[in-house]
């Protein structure tokens, strides 16, 4: 009878441990950090209706800050679009596409003067400043 009691206690303990393990959230796998490898900014519109593309990659002089900013959690959390309440009148439209190591891409679009997180405007400004321009 003594052995049977020990077996029941061991079984009960094991069952309780399994139940707790089944209900506990799994430890998330550590994701590899997002590392931006290139940025393309398409800018169109304005008073003259111009279209221009700016590109930044690892070989662009002064491009590392832009690549670092687009690899941050703040940038990665951005929505895909920030649009104005009133789309009227002679503003630039921006489409920012970032390519990350492994091929993942993130695209964010906005219009000049729209309320959007500062990191988006900081990246746009840097890419316009240092990016290679083509029309």
The burial of 98, by beta-carbon neighbours within 10 Å (0-12 exposed, 13-18 middle, 19 or more buried), is given as buried
Q: Provide the total of helices (H) and of strands (E) in the chain, helices listed first.
A: 4, 6
pLDDT band at 9 (very low <50, low <70, confident <90, very high): low
Site of tokens 């070989």: 59
pLDDT given at position 26 = 38
More confident residue, 30 or 72: 72
DSSP characters for 7-34?
HHHHHHHHHHHHHHHHHSPPPPPPPPPP
Strand order in the sheet with 36-45: 81-82, 105-111, 92-100, 36-45, 50-57, 132-134
d(CA 57, CA 131): 8
Reported pTM: 0.74
- Looking at every residue in the chain, the average pLDDT score rounds to 83
Span 86-120, pLDDT tens digits: 877 889 999 999 999 999 999 999 999 999 999 99
d(CA 132, CA 80): 24
Q: Lowest-confidence range among 6-15, 54-63, 74-83?
A: 6-15
Span 75-85, pLDDT tens digits: 999 999 999 98
């Amino acid at each position: 009878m003594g052995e049977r009691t020990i077996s029941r206690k061991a079984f009960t303990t094991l069952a309780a441990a399994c139940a707790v393990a089944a209900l506990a959230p799994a430890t998330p796998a550590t994701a590899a950090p997002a590392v931006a490898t290139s940025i393309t900014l398409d800018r169109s519109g304005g008073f003259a209706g111009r279209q221009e593309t700016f590109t930044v990659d690892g070989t662009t002089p002064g491009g590392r800050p832009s690549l670092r900013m687009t690899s941050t959690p703040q940038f990665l959390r951005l929505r895909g679009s920030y649009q104005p309440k009133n789309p009227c009148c002679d503003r630039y439209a921006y489409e920012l596409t970032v390519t990350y190591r492994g091929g993942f891409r993130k695209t964010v679009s906005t219009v000049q003067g729209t309320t959007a997180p500062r990191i988006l405007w900081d990246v746009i400004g840097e890419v316009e400043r240092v990016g290679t321009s083509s029309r």
